[in-house]
Structure 1
Amino acid sequence: MMYATCEPCPMCVAVMMWAGIKTCYYASSHRDAAAHGFSDQHLRDYLDGSDKSAFDMIHVTQGREDCQAIWDEFTRLSAKP
């Protein structure tokens, strides 16, 4: 369970999801925050696909084997006995 002053931003939502938090109680909305100069709307627009202008995401395949080795090690280290 999480209590927050304001509706969590997309980064905070991601952390809560990874942490397994199932419920978040908040008072102010992201629109309330924007009215006071703190807007995460650009993040929300990017994540919902309505704004692609923030930056380009380019998937490269060179070095993929090295990355796979890192994932394999992560899996080995996080395996439950």
Structure 2
Amino acid sequence: MPSAEFMRRAIAKAREGIAAGQTPFGACIVRDGRVAAAEHNAVWDATDPTAHAEVRAIRAACRALGTVDLSGCVIYSTCEPCPMCFSAIHWAKISTIVFGARITDAQALGFSELPIPNQTMKREGGSPVELVPDFLRDECLALFREFAAKSDRRVY
């Protein structure tokens, strides 16, 4: 059963990112009911197009847990992971992805997304990851509206 507490942790990280001039994406990785890592997108700050919230959270969780095998972990993401992030989640062996907004919602904000749904990647790639879509979707879409209202917002 997904946890509103952990999704709201991802949402809070995304808000931190928005306040820091980043984007409305946050991720939280949980193992055994405890947060292993929580990060926001930092593409602009890091000058790195791969510095997505999910990838940053995976890197931080691997460091914190001392392993590249995140089996048994759940990742909460404010948005459906892009193909790069889905692949990283698969390679890290994260068991479950819980996401709020859809990748098409990010595309509608102007982000240059490859709008391939996670369900399609799971099916076509044979990934064992469990998907829990649309969790706290309205709260995640509220982040997108906050971001869209900023006059200095930047998309990539």
Relative to the length of structure 1, the TM-score reads 0.49
Please tell me whether Structure 1 or Structure 2 has the larger radius of gyration of its CA atoms.
1
Q: TM-score, normalised by structure 2?
A: 0.26
